[in-house]
Amino acid sequence: MAMTRKERFMAAVKVQQPDRVPMFDFLFQQPIYEAMIGHKPGGYNARDAVACALALNHDAVWLPFGGYNGFQPRYLAADTYVDEWGTTYRTTEYAWPIDAPIDYPIKSREDWRCYESPDPTLPGRADEIKVAVAMERDNLLLAPGITGPFTTCWLLMGYERICFALYDDPSLLTEIFHMSNEYNKEAARRAVEAGGEAIWLGDDLGDSSRGFMKLPHFRKYYLPYLAELVEYVDNLGVPVLLHCCGRFTDYLPDLAQTKISAIHPLQRTAGMSLQTVKEQYGKRFCIIGNIDSSRTLPYGTPAEVAAEVREAIDIAAPGGGYVLASDHSLHDGISIENILEMFRVGAEYGGNFYQKG
């Protein structure tokens, strides 16, 4: 018997075998919207994201809580603005919908003493989630996003200051981690109350070669706050899906002790081995992603994309617990042709995968 989209995605998240391999991605390029639903969105919004996800035959969609780069930005120039957290961003034609920070509000202890965090209870924070709930959406699973403590700290301080603080003033980091959790716990609660059925927790913890923190620092200063936030969301009755770019292999044993349900995206160019993670953690985590968004998707042929999709499904789908997705997002560097091939093969090969056995 065929599952609904929500049932299929949730079966994979529970590391159970669905009727076919579920599909998902972060829809972070405007041309795919134009190709699938006939227009480019201005800003990332629920109505267009739901329509595009359904057109691509996805089983879940990411939704913003109160806007991705802040709720009430203050523009300094046509391409430069300060968000409600005090972080300065510059917009480029390639950045949509996530702009790059160029300046940070916390440069010293004095800045932190004077800092006031945004209010997660402002009216309108959950409006995009409510829009998605009200739509006819064919049982598409709604997964709002929140920010993890390390990412919040990075956007407030920048990575260089985080590195110095790990040695000079680690309590500054843990105080910011605590503030971040207080905001994001309330954000998660309101997102679930509005109709969210899973929570994406975004917290990049590494670059292409290593984790951002030494393991003792990771365990002592960061992990308790991540575990606290995950525990809170889990107690809301929805699964936590961790988006973590970069190489975070060394952190996996510790992450496995938390209540995180799924890990994404297993970035190939960061040496995240799908085979190894499936063998070691395939019964603990649902695995989402691993289709190369740095090489194969932007530069490969459709045949090479198809081969990589089949390879990933062969490795990670046996027994359930795998969701087909790129190893980051559908960004502007990826052709429409390769995106469509990825999900065409995913629907065809993944659709027959469990029937073969």
Asked if 58 and 44 touch (Cβ cutoff 8 Å), the reply is: no
Distance CA 91, CA 263 (A): 29
- What percent of the chain is helix, strand and coil (3-state, nearest 5)? 45, 15, 40
Give pLDDT, residue 1: 74
Give pLDDT, residue 67: 56
Counting every residue, how long is the chain? 357
Give pLDDT, residue 95: 83
Asked if 106 and 116 touch (Cβ cutoff 8 Å), the reply is: no
Q: Worst-scoring range by mean pLDDT, 55-69, 74-88, 106-120, 214-228? A: 55-69
Give pLDDT, residue 348: 97
Over residues 182-210, mean pLDDT: 97
Over residues 195-223, mean pLDDT: 97
What average pLDDT is seen over the chain?
96
Residues 26-68: tens digit of each pLDDT: 999 999 999 999 999 988 999 999 999 999 999 999 999 985 4
Residues 153-178: tens digit of each pLDDT: 999 999 999 999 999 999 999 999 99
What contacts 269, CB < 8 A, 6 or more positions away?
A: 208, 292, 294, 295, 327
Distance CA 336, CA 218 (A): 39
User: What is the pTM assigned to this prediction?
Assistant: 0.96
Minimal CA–CA distance to 335: which of 297, 289, 304?
Answer: 297
Distance CA 152, CA 197 (A): 23
Give pLDDT, residue 357: 58
Q: What is the arrangement of strands in the sheet containing 286-288, beginning at the earlier edge strand?
A: 60-63, 141-147, 199-202, 240-243, 260-264, 286-288, 322-323
Distance CA 330, CA 222 (A): 29
Give pLDDT, residue 69: 47
Give pLDDT, residue 174: 98
Does residue 147 sit in helix, strand or coil?
Answer: strand
Residues 79-103: tens digit of each pLDDT: 999 999 999 999 988 888 989 899 9
**CA angle 243–249–255, rounded 5-degree value:** 60
β pairing state of 141-147 and 199-202: parallel
pLDDT score of 70 more than 60: no
Tokens representing residue 164 in the block: 């110095």
Residues 267-321: tens digit of each pLDDT: 999 999 999 999 999 999 999 999 999 999 999 999 999 999 999 999 999 999 9
Only one residue has tokens 């190709």, namely: 35
Tokens representing residue 190 in the block: 């309101």
pLDDT score of 210 more than 50: yes
Burial, 113: exposed, middle or buried (Cβ in 10 Å; 0-12, 13-18, 19+)?
exposed
Tokens representing residue 307 in the block: 């081969």
Q: Which domains does the chain have, with CATH numbers?
A: 5-68+106-356 (3.20.20.210)
Distance CA 85, CA 153 (A): 11
Over residues 65-76, mean pLDDT: 74
Tokens representing residue 90 in the block: 């510059």
Share of the chain above pLDDT 90, in %: 92
Asked if 322 and 20 touch (Cβ cutoff 8 Å), the reply is: no
Residue 200 CB-half CA count within 13 A: 22
- Can the peptide bond before residue 265 be classed as cis, meaning omega within 30 degrees of 0? yes
